Structure 1
Amino acid sequence: MEPASISRDSAHYDKASFTIGLILAVSSSLFIGSSFIIKKIALKKITSTGSLRASAGGFGYLKQWLWWLGLITMGVGEAANLLAYAFAPAALVTPLGALSVLVAAVLASNFLNEKLNFIGKIGCFLCIVGSVMIVIHSPKSEEVKSFAELTSKFSDTMFISYMTIIFVMSFVVRTVFAPRFGNTNIVVYLLLCSAIGSLTVVFCKGVALAIKETVNGDTDVPAGQYEHTLLPLLAYDAQGIGRVWLVLHNTTI
């Protein structure tokens, strides 16, 4: 095959992969944003019956089918988000997650009677503009295209240094600043969630690439590397996402 033909095929594949990733990322935001509203409606129903609120230690929501529907909806959204990392650059997928906030705001206005003020509407408009700019200017092809290529970067000095800084910073924020200012300043938990989330993005990318290569059967990873590398990534990913979600969930309720 001639080089020109290979180049055209590669460009076509990158465009198709980018489109699939974009659709998955946007649909993920729709599902996740909707799940917040569904769970909020369920929690309000529980509170109206006199049951103990979840933030006060109550578990009545576990008997509410609507809450489970919201949880399943969030699961579908998170699955779509994970798959999006296999097709599109993380620089596109991660920022588009902010669309879930826009979806939640619009649905809250219609179903929860939580009206947006002028500043809130400006924020939604800026969210839309920012998402459009990201789609237009984000890289259309990925720098890291295989699981083996990604895992090889884990041993780089820069990545190890970054991980060390993130863990130290998260520990200090959680143990020193959160007890003092966590209840009065949202920046504390926002910083903590963002720090942990920055690593979660990398590991989500690794898991997504591993799944994609396994399904396609085109992996060149040595035998045993999936077991030794992928399982720790999955363990950290589940633990990291679970903790971040729990912090945000308890804070908003």
Structure 2
Amino acid sequence: MGALFVLETVLLVCFVSTISAVKWPEGTYTLVKPKAGCPTEWLEGWRYQDNEDDDNKNQIEDQHHFFGIIGTHPRDMNFSYCSKDPNDVNDEGNWPSGDYCILKHGSTCPHGGFQSGYIFWDDEDSNNKNSVGGELPSGGFDRNTRIDYCCRDDGPYSTAIQLPTSKPFYLLRYNDFCQQVQGMLVREETVYTDDEDDNNINSVHGSHPFGPVSGQSNYKLFYCYYWPSLSSTVL
């Protein structure tokens, strides 16, 4: 019994070590920043998005893990981002096949399997207070907000993919469920934005995260929060 326990422990340690050694895929791209922070040496930025003033109904999942956002009913959205440095050589291979979205950074999506698209938010028209800082995903960030995405559905969400497991991170849901990741637990966290009420021009194009469709005056997106499975709590 003792020998079997030791063997199982060794196998577990070897498995965890293998998963932990996985590097982020090659290319440039952006992820939403969680409270735990960005991967080491990635570029950081933020976008303050002025949402509808009248009877604002913004809502974020209870006990969410987004960096810099307090509570579940923020009057305006202020998301932070982690962008992989184009000069970062501590990477390896392509993004694995699966069913998920990341944020585009640069003129093209990473190699292999992604399709591009965008979501355009019609932000508050009156006394608009939109602002930005640092490194952002590709898109448009003036009086309105457009974010470009890279999405794929070339593999089942239920087949766990390999990504780094050293700290929490976010992907976005593309179809019906969050992508499974080896060595990580996942929690879906929704974000509902109350966009401009008057003459709303929200729009979407191409491949983009699950939720918004053309003609909607407000959007609901589904973020997938991942944290190491060896942790006993949601970090």
Q: TM-score, normalised by structure 2?
A: 0.24
Give the structure with the higher percent strand. 2
Tell me: higher relative CO, structure 1 or 2? Use CA pairs within 8 A at least 6 residues apart: 2
